[in-house]
Structure 1
């Protein structure tokens, strides 16, 4: 077996104090499984703007206790370099309901405590939005949440928030990664924690920098939700009933409490999915976007003829909803539809000085048009809430404060309570919107019809296109072969984010303000759009399409959607045919 590989494996075994992962590695050694060992030791999990995420297992390319300890030591070193009073301000740490999350969180706490940094550790599982809230609420230097969100059961992750409460962006991601590499060659000191039924024993640990965040902290978030002006519309909540699922995650207690305190008494939780379970036994993939994931909550809604069937993902930072139709069946709304509905609703009653919204480049263009109608502004950012919220804070002014942000992947942020996506406050806002409409004898479908009639029916689809393995340099080909038309629609402009420049059809150009990224955006006639994210490692394109159809006065939603789907099919087919084969 490869000598260098075995040296790395043995060194890892000497540093890894977890008997489970040591046994796993030893088993691979005993079997002589060099291929699997190479996969585990070819590199280490890359720390980026989303922190870490990977399959749980032994070795530096997996999520495990030693990787978490090394990551925490690197984060601690970077914080000491960047934040003068980090030791006293501290770091907030929370974790979801996956099997190893609590242990990983305690390891992170132990490492930071050993470095003299104060730690606020949640006393039990916590939704991801609660950790983001905790960073600003406690004026901490940073936050860590151990979660793999809606990934399959075998995954876990480690997400970092900066002192502003938002996910880290450059230069912090690279700085932390560099510090992790520096400390990974050394033994990591870890201060032991002593617990008794999730409560600190009277052993003096608090005097050494560990503060447990207990029920009063959890309640502070709920109070913040109900004091937020954007979430204070209490128009006849009794008119709305809803089924809810936490999808084997950690959101149920918060969702039920927040809804009840806002007057929503007819809430029916899916019992089989209410409690946290890292095996996710009733869903193939714990993501509300996946086919079948909403089946149980829709069945629960049908049982009670509820108005809505609502879901949070396992760490409760995303929100999904199906709405009852006139025929008694339930139809899922897309992430764009929910974002547009919430944006329109919030803009309609917000103060004139609170009209700043944000959306990602791949989300519907409709929110920006609605914002203009309400004398507001919509900032367009790169994909991801790390960009949405950092841009929102940078662009906020006393005369134009932040109101709402969303991305099409079911992420929504309302107001300034949480500087990240928050599926719990989005759940409440959507319920309040539904109740307000019901008090006027209207439904969510009526509101969508109204919006589409005023601004056009916007349809968005995402398609991953696999190309031939020998297709050379996809991004380069697309940039050298700029189309004049796609699906008989003239290309009006092309945004090339790799060089931060917009190219117009008449030959003129202008600079773009967004960070460099391997993204191309084609703006077409009639409001249509194609966005392409070429893969740098394989012949594959991730494409986002948008078509806009003027909605006739006498037309139903179904009729307009049928027309838009025909246009979408033509656009996708034509675009795919134009790509190299």
Structure 2
């Protein structure tokens, strides 16, 4: 195999004294035994996406390793000194259960300390939302979490949080990336100042647990909590450190933990994917639910920012809810509780994203509450809180199984969200209803919305080219009709324009630029195309809806919407 000159140049840099002998040996071995892997390891620099930087661990510019993360941290250190001159700069670092997370976290801490920055480093793995909380609690300017969320075991990642507790957004993100790109690897300071590294643990844990309960508890009677049977699985991840303690302290005693998945393990041995968005991930939890006659199942991803939920339908069968359904249920519950407490006065808002269900806007409107919609990723919902200080943030969610309750944590938070959905379930059961029946009633009141996600994996350099070409085709040859319905609007977030196909009028989109296209049809259907920022995938989000007048119409309406989704997938060849 011939190696392209640009890739060979990148490889040769990693064979210089800036890199240790072990790294150089690994590069040489790839050159002789795995040229295809060598190409994938060096053909581009690993980039920041919607959820920070994620990648396969190994040597090379397109891999997660001590040098790519060291370079990130050195650039970030330089930027922190630039924007916070003559101040004590403090950062906090957390990490998840993945292989090498603890080692990489210590390397990141070393580089910060080598640059004269005070570091708080969790002594063991902790949930990502606790990092966001700790950043504000300790009054740090910046935070880092080492995680690859729900990606496969060979991945790891690096998320950067700013002083408000949210992930970096414009203008900080571009400025930090610019500071990183200016650097060569030989400029990384790895020599730690150990006196600047302080290990943290139970004091922060206790404050985080207390805050989670304060934010997500809503006067549920103890008798209702006593009646609720819960199954919980951490899927081998970090949530085992917080969620059982939060539920117990909040008064939920009947919590059955899946024992085979309770031990943190970066191999995730009992699941194909540690992603609660995947039904298979909750197989063991659902089996335990049948044994214990549980009312609700909750499973979280490795870094504990997403949660999957299963509840019993009207026939008593456990069914998995999708992220749109859980966010609608939790948002409705919050709005109802805020209204009951007399706290709604027109100065509140809820948050969502452009790829999430439009039903959330109908729901917010019914309470006279504004729904602010941002780009994909919770950093944009966190930014809303910062951008609109005159408004109170109630809660927010996105279709990818994330939810945030209040503003103590500025990222999706499966700890508080788990407690919140248990509050929903306990109160529903106490009044002779169920989570499923509550959802059905919301469909009657706000319209029956159904969403479906098609995710196409395209790995490697060729896969990236294929994804790029798909987006080019959708832009340059926009569909005029989908499933017999005219396309009436195309929103292009890369050009920040919305084209009305009926009038040919072009209007501006007031969002940061992003590689996203959304088609709207005359029957209210919505199809969004978006390359993933953290995985080699292109995603198509389909939303359809129908009006119903009572619960008895749901079965027929669902069959109609399922057929509509299937027709859209077939016509757009999303297979």
Q: TM-score, normalised on structure 1?
A: 0.89
Does the alignment pair 1:191 with 2:191?
yes
* Contact preservation (8 Å) 2:152, 2:273: yes
Q: Is the 8 A contact 2:111 2:190 kept in 1?
A: yes
C-alpha separation in 2, matches of 1:78 and 1:470: 35
Q: Which residue of 1 aligns with 2:26?
A: 24
The alpha-carbon distance between structure 1 residues 71 and 18, as it changes in their structure 2 partners (threshold 3 A), is: farther
| Alignment partner, residue 199 of structure 1 | none
> Deviations along 1:487-522, whole A, 9 cap, x unmatched?
233433332323323333234343221122232323
Match of 1:559 among 550, 553, 556: 556
Matched-pair contact (CA < 8 Å) for 2:80–2:89? no
* Farther off after superposition, 76-85 or 500-509: 500-509
Counterpart in the other structure of 1:449: 440
**1:139-154 aligned within 5 A:** 139-154=139-154
Match status 1:77 vs 2:78: yes
In structure 2, distance between residues paired with 1:554 and 1:315: 37
Measure how far apart 1:187 and its partner are.
Answer: 4.4
Whether contact under 8 Å (1:18, 1:65) holds in the other structure is: no
Asked if the contact 1:358/1:392 (under 8 Å) is kept, the reply is no
| Displacement after TM superposition at 1:69 (Å) | 1.7
Residues 140-196 of structure 1: CA distance to partner in whole angstroms, max 9, x if unpaired?
110000011111111100110011111112332232222223333424322347xxx
CA distance in 2: counterparts of 1:387 and 1:192, whole angstroms: 34
Query: 2:251 maps to what in 1?
Result: 263
Is 1:498 aligned with 2:494?
A: yes
Structure 1 residues 183 and 10: alpha-carbon distance in aligned structure 2, compared to 1, 3 A threshold: closer
Deviation at 1:567, TM superposition (A): 2.6
Separation of aligned partners in 1, 2:467 and 2:387: 41
Q: Which residue of 1 aligns with 2:530?
A: 533
- Give the structure 1 partner of residue 283 of structure 2: 295
Distance 2:220 2:9 in 1: 64
Are the structure 2 counterparts of residues 409 and 554 from structure 1 closer, same or farther at C-alpha, using a change threshold of 3 Å?
Answer: closer
Alpha carbons of 1:52 and 1:114: their partners in 2 closer, same or farther (altered >3 Å)? same
Between the aligned partners of 1:472 and 1:299, the Cα distance in structure 2 is 41
> Aligned pair in 2 of structure 1 residues 240, 524: CA closer, same or farther (>3 Å)?
same
Inter-partner Cα distance in structure 2 for 1:471 and 1:246: 33
Partner of 2:309: 321
- Structure 1, unaligned stretches of length 5 or more? 194-204
Q: What whole-Å deviation, never above 9, does each CA across 1:3-42 have from its counterpart, x for those lacking one?
A: 99388446446333484x454334335x365444343333
Indicate conservation of the 8 Å contact 1:245/1:273, yes or no.
yes
- Please show how residues 43-62 of structure 1 align to structure 2 within 5 Å: 43-48=44-49, 50-62=51-63
CA distance in 2 between partners of 1:225 and 1:249 (Å): 19
Structure-to-structure mapping, 1:158-237, within 5 angstroms: 158-192=158-192, 205=194, 208-228=195-215, 230-235=216-221, 236-237=224-225
Q: Distance in 2 between matches of 1:241 and 1:96?
A: 28
Is the CA contact 1:347–1:355 (under 8 Å) kept in the aligned structure 2?
no
User: 1:244·1:297 contact (CA, 8 Å) conserved in 2?
Assistant: yes
Are the aligned partners of 1:71 and 1:180 in contact in 2 as well (CA < 8 Å)?
A: yes
Mapped contact 1:357–1:392 kept (Cα < 8 A): no
1:352 maps to what in 2? 344
Structure-2 separation of matches of 1:166 and 1:310: 25
- The residue that corresponds to 2:418 in the other structure is 427
Structure 2 match to 1:387: 380
Distance 2:306 2:162 in 1: 20
Return closer, same or farther for 1:523/1:48 CA change in 2, 3 Å cut-off: closer
Check the 8 A contact 1:226/1:232 in 2, yes or no. Answer: no
What is the number of residues matched between the two proteins? 557
C-alpha separation in 2, matches of 1:547 and 1:574: 15
The C-alpha deviation readout for 1:19-72, integer Å capped at 9, x for no partner, is: 4x454334335x365444343333432245533211111222211122222221
Maintained 8 Å contact 1:12/1:59: no
Task: Quote the offset at 1:316 in angstroms.
Answer: 0.4
Against the structure 1 CA distance between its residues 48 and 304, is the aligned structure 2 distance closer, same or farther, given a 3 Å change threshold? closer
Alpha-carbon distance in structure 2 between the residues aligned to 1:465 and 1:6: 32
CA contact (8 A) 2:113 2:192 kept: no
Q: Secondary structure in 1 aligned to 2:17?
A: helix
Q: Which residue matches 2:67?
A: 66
Query: How far apart are 1:461 and its partner, in Å?
Result: 1.1
2:370 corresponds to which residue? 377
* 1:365 CA displacement: 0.2
Q: Go from structure 1 to structure 2 and tell me whether the alpha carbon gap of 1:326 and 1:51 turns closer, same or farther (over 3 Å shift).
A: closer
Call closer, same or farther: CA 1:47–1:462 in 2, change over 3 Å: closer
Asked whether the 8 Å contact 2:127–2:241 carries over to 1, the reply is: no
Give distance in 2, aligned partners of 1:7 and 1:423.
Answer: 40
Residue 295 of structure 1: CA displacement?
0.4
Offset at 1:313?
A: 0.4
SS in 2 for 1:109: helix
Deviation at 1:305, TM superposition (A): 0.5
306-315 or 547-556: which moved more? 547-556
The DSSP-based 3-state class of the residue aligned with 1:514 is coil
Q: TM-score by structure 2 length?
A: 0.90
Partner of 2:239: 251
Alignment match, 2:228: 240
